[in-house]
Amino acid sequence: MNRITKENGPDAFAGISSARCTNEENYVFQKMIRAAVGTNSVDCCARICHSPTAWGMQQTFGTGAATNSTEDIYHADLFLVIGANPTNAHPVTGAKIKQQVMKGKKLIVLDPVTTELAKLADYHIKLRPGTNVAVLNMMLHFIIKSKLYNADFVRDRTEGFDNFLKEIERQDVDQLAKVAGVDKQLVKEAAIAYATARNSMEFHGLGVTEHEQGSKTVMLIADLAMITGNIGRKGVGVNPLRGQNNVQGAADMGCQPHQGAGYFPVADEKHQEFYTEKYGVTHPTKPGLKIPQMFEAAISKELKGLWIIGEDIVQTDPNSAHVIEAMNSLELLVVQEIFMSETAKLATVVLPGTTFLEKDGTFTNTERRIQRVNRAVPPLPGTKPDGLIVTEMMQKLGFDQPTYDADQVLGEIADIVPFFKGVTRERLGKFGLQWPVQEDGTDTKILHTETFKLGKGRLKNFDWKESSEIEANKKDYPLILTTSRVLQHYNAATMTRRTKNINIVDEDVLLIHPKDAEYRDLNTGDIGRLYSGRGEVALKVEVTDKVKEGIVFTTFHFPEHMVNMVTGHGKDEETMCAEYKVSSVEVQKISNQFKTEVKPKEHQAEVS
């Protein structure tokens, strides 16, 4: 590292942190990259997957986190679930929603796949991937036209309504219904149900954010909550569902190139001075690289070294061949991991870290709840807690950082991050605290009760536009691939493939609509060649109407398949979040050797 930075400058090095590490470990890692190395080029999956949520909610509310608590599920009368499959990907929250729906509460689901919750929904709007903005504009239009907006809330708590009203009223709902492939009347009924329920509570996942218009979708969701007054009290709000256990915390701790710990913009001179004072060294001023930019810089030889903690980017990032080329172009690739992942196989150096069971610290969950992590067993021989590895490297780089102690680091975080001000390990107790936490230890269950951080909420409006991925490829690759996970496996399944869960689900399976299958002479059990302009994979096929016509679906759990070989380079227009949910593909039959003996696995189809 020292040689690379001395010869090429600090910006020749970058870091990718982990949403599976503790707050304290993420904090010291971004501090190492910024203060010890001297660059803002640090990123993590919190920005990769949910940056449109943070950015969009910051633009409309001023705070990019869940407005309410999961306990509020019991106070909601209607649930709006957009681009998420909570019963599989967020099973604790999903189970609570399912229980309430089975007791008679209303449910709206926007999803191109018939998920478990979609089967129970009063309104399942089975839209085409990439058309969230179109459908939300339809819902907003119907609410406005029916005069079901909350005039008092709009007047007292929002700004920009006059322009918003004009833009929403001019929306051509017939055309929007056509491009989204949805029933206009169903959308109208769902919109009226959302607006007239006493308490409507929204949840969204990566099916919202991982699109070119991801940030715009989030802002329209915020509009929906604001114009109906579904914000600032129990049982309502806008609530993103995070994909890993500490996605919220990794972002809070500053593991992103544009914002440091506490979400202070690092390009702002006064915040540079703040961090300089706190860290004791001059804070870097040059903007840092986001992960896609890191790959490009590595291939062009501008980026020489990369340190990755707990992220298997080779398997999980889009266009795997491009990622592999980037990793092989580096002079130094350091991978800190608990297993030999696909990324670790390419590393110059592998540093053995530890699981959460072998460390102390804190995690922050999707409802902003900071919870204690308590070491249950000592680290395995030859391994060290991730925070200890990082602080030892900081010391070797000549930075005056105390040897890692989770409580000491938490104290430093509380000194820097305003919404952690009153957090101590003792105060967290058994159930934790929800930030912002005041200096006296008082936490916050619900955000925006009286006012928004911006003062008034800002109403935004955007027109729908087609994904450039589809525009460029619809002739040669007429199908749209969208991906997610199953209940039995977690993200890239680096951990769950090493459990008995592999006996339940042991492969990625391609779901295809019966009409699309018939046209391609595909049957359940056949092996299909799934291909795009980036690459191809072979997957077993399941023919099912759980996916919309023109859509194919699979998971990305198994490196034997490397599904991300076919996914594209599309990105959210504001944040560069990868457009995983829209990839133009085609499917071709390879063989039918398994057709007679393989039955469709029902659990494989329960995905979003």
Q: DSSP assignment of 229-261, as one string? A: T-SSSTT-EEEE--SSTTHHHHHHTT-BTTB-T
Gap between the Cα atoms of 154 and 457, Å rounded: 9
pLDDT-derived band at 490 (thresholds 50, 70, 90) equals: low
pLDDT of 344 over the 80 cut = yes
Domain range list for the chain: 2-43+249-434, 68-235, 468-605
pLDDT at 559 (0 to 100): 65
pLDDT at 599 (0 to 100): 36
- Residue 105 vs residues 27, 75, 120, 191: alpha-carbon distances, Å: 41, 10, 10, 16
Max CA pair span of the chain: 69
* pLDDT tens string 179-201: 999 999 999 999 999 999 999 99
* pLDDT tens string 233-242: 999 999 999 8
Nearest to 360 by CA among 19, 18, 17, 24: 24
Mean pLDDT of 213-235: 97
Point out the least confidently predicted range of 153-162, 295-304, 320-329, 571-580.
Answer: 571-580
Mean pLDDT of 337-365: 95
CATH fold of 68-235, please?
A: Dimethylsulfoxide Reductase; domain 2 (3.40.228)
Element (H, E) at 101: helix 91-102
pLDDT of 496 over the 60 cut = yes
pLDDT at 608 (0 to 100): 36
Nearest to 425 by CA among 362, 367, 368: 362
Q: Quick check: helix, strand or coil at residue 144?
A: helix
pLDDT at 595 (0 to 100): 40
* pLDDT tens string 366-394: 999 999 999 999 999 999 999 999 999 99
- Listed in sequence order, the residues at least 6 apart from 467 whose beta carbon sits closer than 8 Å to its beta carbon are 130, 211, 212, 213, 570, 579, 582
* CATH number of the domain located at residue range(s) 2-43+249-434 in this protein: 3.40.50.740
Point out the least confidently predicted range of 89-93, 184-188, 452-456, 496-500.
Answer: 496-500
pLDDT at 600 (0 to 100): 35
pLDDT of 603 over the 70 cut = no
pLDDT of 563 over the 90 cut = no
Mean pLDDT of 546-562: 84
The pairing of beta strand 433-434 with beta strand 479-484? unpaired
pLDDT-derived band at 359 (thresholds 50, 70, 90) equals: very high
Q: What are phi and psi of 311, to 5 degrees?
A: -125, 125
pLDDT-derived band at 601 (thresholds 50, 70, 90) equals: very low
Q: What are phi and psi of 402, to 5 degrees?
A: -60, 150
Question: Nearest-5° angle of CA 174, CA 176, CA 180?
Answer: 120
**pLDDT top residue among 458 and 49:** 458
pLDDT of 449 over the 80 cut = yes
DSSP single-letter state for residue 219: H
pLDDT-derived band at 592 (thresholds 50, 70, 90) equals: low
pLDDT of 362 over the 90 cut = yes
CATH fold of 468-605, please?
A: Barwin-like endoglucanases (2.40.40)
- Listed in sequence order, the residues at least 6 apart from 507 whose beta carbon sits closer than 8 Å to its beta carbon are 539, 540, 558, 560, 561
**pLDDT top residue among 592 and 75:** 75
pLDDT at 133 (0 to 100): 98
